[in-house]
Amino acid sequence: MSRVFNFSAGPAALPQSVLEQVRDEMLDWQGEGMSVMEMSHRGKAFVSILEQTEADLRELLAIPNNYKVLFLQGGASAQFSMVPMNLLKDKTNADYINTGSWSKKAIAEAKKYCEVNVAGGSADVNFSRVPTQQELQLDPQAAYLHFTSNNTIFGTEFHYLPESGDVPLVCDASSNILSKPIDVSKYGLIYAGAQKNIGPAGVTIVIVRDDLIGTVLPGTPTMFDYQPHADNDSCYNTPPTFGVYVAGLVFRKLLSEGGLAQIEARNVRQSETLYKMIDGNGFYDCPTEQASRSRMNVPFTLANAELDGLFLQEAGAAGLVTLKGHRSVGGMRASIYNAMPDEGIAALVSFMADFSSRHG
């Protein structure tokens, strides 16, 4: 079989050119006579990969010097604990915005360590939008304000940056990091699991303002303390070396494509193409409110849910896979992260038009 267009919500499609380079370097990375998987993380070769990867990420996001970049393990789920364990200090409460499943998990975990003030959310409308700044009820004494910048399941995204005054802003950016330029200096901490826009599952990136780390709650495991990771340039223990290498290749590719402004333009174009198709065709419907629509995850339903199975079957036969929606929303979901080529969007839109003309 040839390559498919993979609309998986994560782990997700990677750029084909990156996979080709990984393939070509599998037995011998740049004349070292070994795979990146076989390299000592303390050796010159891997250290050069790690340094370049961090430098490229810093360039892509214009990360200020007073922010540490950490390559960790454990996914966003580990961050759900690490954030309160590291950022609470002598405070006992934090603000969280609840925009769906991932926010809820972050809130549940934080409640082990502090009082959580749900400063806003959209549970009342089944998370079909994100709250506006005016709707947020922020506590100026909170240790931090946590929000999920994109919700993969409900297909919503913040198109503004919550304003939290002097309270550090903490963002779970797992599913839209690197999809557009951001002003890192407005954040206290940004974290992201790699498996959507960065690379393989098993790498977690944390970007944290350096004055926010160094004090943890009693009983915090050393591995859950940002400080030793920062002090050892992400080599406090063996990092997920191969994942870091693949992430580095993705960063290089994004830079070669012109950086995040260019990437954002493509993401806007691709998502608008898809939403326009859905909105303009009476057969499909998108459950999310216009102003909150995600550029990364596009959920849509068919006029007749009994056709869902046939839609998925025919789409699969056409090389368009992993389109089934999450059970809490139903229907379909097309996840179109950075690695989705324009051809994938064109093929999906064309298939959807054809399917609706035959069954609408």
Q: What are φ and ψ of residue 272, in 5° steps? A: -65, -40
Instruction: Tell whether residue 357 is a contact of its own copies (CB under 8 A).
Output: no
Q: How far is the CB of 261 from its own copies (least distance, A)?
A: 26
Pick between residue 33 and residue 165 the one whose CB is nearest to its own copies: 33
Q: DSSP for 109-133?
A: HHTTTSEEEEEEE-GGGTT-S---G
Strands (DSSP E) contained in the chain are: 5-6, 67-72, 93-98, 115-121, 145-148, 150-151, 156-157, 169-172, 189-193, 204-209, 284-285, 297-302, 320-321, 332-335
Tell me the three state secondary structure of residue 307.
helix
Interface characters, 257-296, with its own copies (x: CB under 8 A)? ----------------------------------------
Helix, strand, coil shares of the chain as percentages rounded to 5?
Answer: 40, 15, 45
Residue with tokens 């006579």: 33
| Residues between 10 and 39 with contacts to its own copies, criterion CB under 8 A | 10-14, 16, 19-20, 22-23, 26-28, 31-35, 37-39
- Name the minimum Å distance from CB 283 to its own copies: 26
- Residue from 48, 55, 92, 112 binding its own copies (CB under 8 A): 112
> Active-site residue numbers?
102, 172, 196
Contact pick of 47, 52, 59, 73 for its own copies (by CB under 8 A): 73
Is 201 a binding residue for its own copies by CB under 8 A? The answer is: yes
Pick from 61, 69, 85, 345: which binds its own copies (CB under 8 A)? 85
Interactions with its own copies, residue window 214-253 (CB under 8 A): 217, 219, 221-224, 236-243, 246
Q: How far is the CB of 58 from its own copies (least distance, A)?
A: 22
Closest to its own copies by CB, 32 or 308? 32
234 burial (CB, 10 Å; 0-12 / 13-18 / 19+) is: buried
Closest CA to 177 of 238, 250, 233: 250
- As measured in angstroms, the least distance from the Cβ of 237 to its own copies is 4
Looking at 161-240, list the stretches that DSSP marks H as alpha helix, in order from N- to C-terminal side: 226-231
Q: Judge contact between 287 and 299, C-beta under 8 A.
A: yes
> Smallest distance, Å, CB 81 to its own copies?
3
**Between 53 and 195, CB nearer to its own copies:** 195
Of 104, 97, 168, give the one whose Cα is nearest residue 129.
97
Residues 289-348 that bind its own copies (CB under 8 A): 319, 321-322
Nearest to 7 by CA among 300, 356, 357: 300
Query: Residue 355 contacts by C-beta under 8 Å, 6 or more apart in sequence?
Result: 283, 311, 314, 315
- Beta carbons within 10 angstroms of residue 280's beta carbon: 9
Paired strand residues for 209: 67
Binder to its own copies among 67, 80, 226, 283 (CB under 8 A)?
Answer: 80
Residue written as token pair 């035959």 = 358
Q: From 106-114, 128-136, 253-261, 307-315, give the range in contact with its own copies by CB under 8 A.
A: 106-114
Stretch that binds its own copies, among 184-192, 198-206, 260-268, 283-291 (CB under 8 A): 198-206
User: Which residues make up the interface to its own copies (CB under 8 A)?
Assistant: 1-4, 6, 8-14, 16, 19-20, 22-23, 26-28, 31-35, 37-41, 43, 73-78, 80-82, 85, 109, 112-113, 193, 195, 199-203, 217, 219, 221-224, 236-243, 246, 319, 321-322
